[in-house]
Amino acid sequence: MNFVPLKAEHVAQLGPLETIHAGYEVTPDLALSLEELGGTAAIDDDGNVVGIAGVLPRWDGVGMAWAWLSRKWRRHARVITDEVSRTLDAAPYHRIEMGVKIGYDRGEAWANRLGFYLETPLARKWGPDGEDYSIWVRCK
């Protein structure tokens, strides 16, 4: 598994997504925006992009973690989780938040493994899709 700085072509090469955003349209503009904001791509030994992730600045001292994981990410879950955890540890924020779509149990379990705790069990219409999410937080 290789972890490299996120480029727009990584976003375009990402395979079918694990879950909630399956069918979410990845446009060239979105891919370029993600590259400009920064992040990491996880690439397997066959050259497949299996996940992309990053932490966006929200305001001073607070960041917003995000990740899009392909269905193939589970084969590499331990190494990807370890890398994401190191990235979160090194991020220059005293508080990092992430949203998990309500009902996405794997997302909640992963947030927990990454050291996040459930702060807001129900944030109505919080997500980019207008769906309900829970808010998870990791503080230093």
**Residue of 42, 45, 40, 112 whose CA lies nearest to 73:** 42
Contacts for 59-67 with beta carbons within 8 Å, 24 or more apart? 61/93, 61/94, 61/95, 62/93, 62/94, 62/95, 62/96, 62/97, 63/91, 63/92, 63/93, 63/95, 63/96, 63/97, 64/96, 64/97, 64/98, 65/96, 65/97, 65/98, 65/138, 66/39, 66/98
What tens digit of pLDDT does each residue of 71-107 get?
A: 888 899 999 999 999 999 999 999 999 999 999 898 9
The predicted structure's pLDDT at residue 138:
97
pLDDT computed for residue 22 by the predictor: 47
Separation between Cα atoms, residue 3 and residue 127, nearest integer Å: 27
Low-confidence winner among 29-33, 114-118, 135-139 (lowest mean pLDDT):
29-33
pLDDT value at residue 16: 60
pLDDT at residue 15 above 80?
no
**pLDDT average, residue stretch 129-138:** 92
Task: Enter the CATH code of domain 2-139.
Answer: 3.40.630.30
The pLDDT tens digits of the residues spanning 18-56 come to 554 545 566 778 788 888 988 999 999 999 999 999 999
- What's the whole-number mean pLDDT along residues 59-81? 92
pLDDT for residue 7: 93
